[in-house]
Each structure stands twice: as C-alpha cells, then as structure tokens.
Amino acid sequence: MTDRLQERIRRLIDSLATVEVGSVDANGYPNIKRMFNIPTEDYRTYYFSTNVSSMRRAQFAANPKACVYFTKRWDGVQLLGEMDILTDHETKARFWHPGDEKYYPAGLDDPDYCIFRFTARSGRHYHALASQSFDISELAR
C-alpha cells in the first residue's frame, strides 16, 4: 500500500461521525447497525459506546467476529476483526462524555453502559470499481 493510500484511508476513517458495525446473529445472519465513530488513536483499535442490554452486545458476547465499515461517496474501508465487551470502570470513564446520561441514566457506573473494543485483523479498501486488501499493520500507528 502506498503512503498516499494509507493517508487517504486514515482521512476517511477520521472524517466520519458514524460507521456501520457488522455482527453475526444466533441464527447465522449478518446484522448491521450504525454506531458513533469514536476517534481512533492507532487505526487498529476502535471503541464504541453502547447498552449492555442491546442486541449487539448479546451477539458479540456469543460471537466476537465483527466488521467495521467506513464509507463516503465512492470510497469505502472494511475492517474485519474481533469485538470485545469492556465493563471496567477505567474504560467506561475514559469514554464517558457529559450528556451520556441520556443513554445511561445512572451515569458512568450504570450497569447498562459498556464499551465495545474492536481490534482490526485485516482491511480492504474500495474505490469506485476497484478494491484491494491491505495489511492492517501498514495502517496502524
């Protein structure tokens, strides 16, 4: 992958307020949900804030295989990897923002608040009609 393409992919990832997250449900069907894109620091690890009671949490607890899809116009990046579910106070505090009480009424230690941590294993870039796989270590910092 060229330096130029690496930068293009990083810019796409950084520019999006929301992304699509894929999971596989108990019946083996792919599922998709739009989630907030929390800025990544290393392009290998991505975090998402969600409810413990959510369908997505139950799906990833049973099957951690996950996809995160970034797309804008005719550019797309698909990352495949594993989703972990974190419930420790330190992680929850790290991603807590004022106003999150609307999602988690009991606040930071609301037992319904958890963090998904996605670790990318491989990547693929789409642009118009062309696509190419890339090694995530080339993108990661």
In whole angstroms, what is the distance from residue 50 CA to residue 56 CA?
A: 9
Using CB under 8 A, pick the residue from 62, 88, 94, 103 that binds a second copy. 103
- Under the binding rule (CB under 8 A), the answer on residue 28 touching a second copy is yes
Q: Is 64 helix (H, G, I), strand (E, B) or coil?
A: coil
Query: What is the C-alpha separation between 102 and 131, in angstroms, rounded?
Result: 40
- CB closer to a second copy out of 90 and 129: 129
According to the binding rule CB under 8 A, does residue 136 interact with a second copy? Answer: no
Residue with tokens 């796409």: 12
* Least distance between a second copy and beta carbon 131 (Å): 8
By residue count, the chain amounts to 141
Nearest distance, CB of residue 24 and a second copy, angstroms: 5
Measured from the CB of residue 87, what is the shortest distance to a second copy in angstroms?
Answer: 20
Residues 6+ apart with CB under 8 A from 47: 38, 40, 95, 115, 116, 117, 118
Told to check if 36 binds a second copy by CB under 8 A, we report no
Cα 129-130-136 angle, rounded to 5 deg: 140
- Contact footprint for a second copy (CB under 8 A): 20, 22-25, 27-34, 55, 63, 65-67, 69, 71, 76, 78, 80, 102-103, 126, 129, 131
